[in-house]
């Protein structure tokens, strides 16, 4: 587990590569109750102007924070987490799914001793989460 004394502004967290598959979409829909057809029906998704079936934004958000929880070793260290949804993540029906590359960097030591960590999530080289950041308390 990382300690506050070992962290400085500018530190980069180990990157994370996520794979989102159609099976993940089914599991997330069942857990969340979000059965919007844009997350499972190719025909419907393209008819409404999407490039195909897309991942749930909240699923992408939830998976991306792992870059911080893996680093801290303690999910309870995250006090706040917020994002804006930028672009959808199309998930092909090919058994491979979509890759999302997640990076993060410590950007600020706050007055209360917590750290601000900015998170970047990209699919095909384009940002999918905007303004993603977490406030973290480390021992």
Answer for the pair 18, 128: CB distance below 8 angstroms, yes or no. Answer: no
61: helix, strand or coil: helix
Closest by alpha carbon to 14, among 101, 100, 129? 101
What pTM was estimated for this model as a whole? 0.93
Q: Bridge-partner residues for 19, per DSSP? A: 99
Domain ranges of the chain: 9-20+55-136
Answer for the pair 72, 128: CB distance below 8 angstroms, yes or no. Answer: no
Tens of pLDDT, residues 103-116: 999 999 999 999 99
Tens of pLDDT, residues 42-94: 999 999 999 999 999 999 999 999 999 999 999 999 999 999 999 999 999 99
CB atoms within 10 A of CB 36: 12
CA dihedral of residues 34, 87, 105, 67 (deg, nearest 10)? 30
Q: How many angstroms from the chain centroid is the CA of residue 55? A: 11
Residues, the chain: 139
pLDDT at 1 over 90: no
Q: What is the pLDDT of the chain when averaged over all its residues? A: 97
Answer for the pair 59, 108: CB distance below 8 angstroms, yes or no. Answer: no
Structural domain 9-20+55-136, CATH architecture? Roll (3.10)
């Amino acid at each position: 587990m990382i300690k506050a004394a070992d962290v400085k502004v500018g530190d980069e967290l180990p990157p994370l590569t996520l794979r989102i598959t159609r099976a993940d979409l089914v599991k997330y829909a069942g857990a969340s109750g979000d059965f919007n057809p844009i997350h499972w029906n190719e025909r419907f998704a393209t008819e409404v102007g999407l490039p195909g079936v897309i991942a749930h934004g909240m699923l992408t958000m939830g998976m991306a924070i792992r870059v911080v929880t893996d680093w801290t070793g303690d999910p309870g260290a995250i006090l706040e987490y917020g994002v804006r949804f930028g672009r959808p993540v199309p998930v092909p029906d090919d058994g491979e799914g979509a890759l999302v590359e997640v990076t993060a960097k410590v950007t600020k030591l706050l007055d209360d001793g917590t750290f601000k960590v900015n998170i970047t999530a990209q699919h095909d080289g384009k940002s999918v989460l905007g303004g993603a950041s977490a406030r973290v308390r480390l021992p």
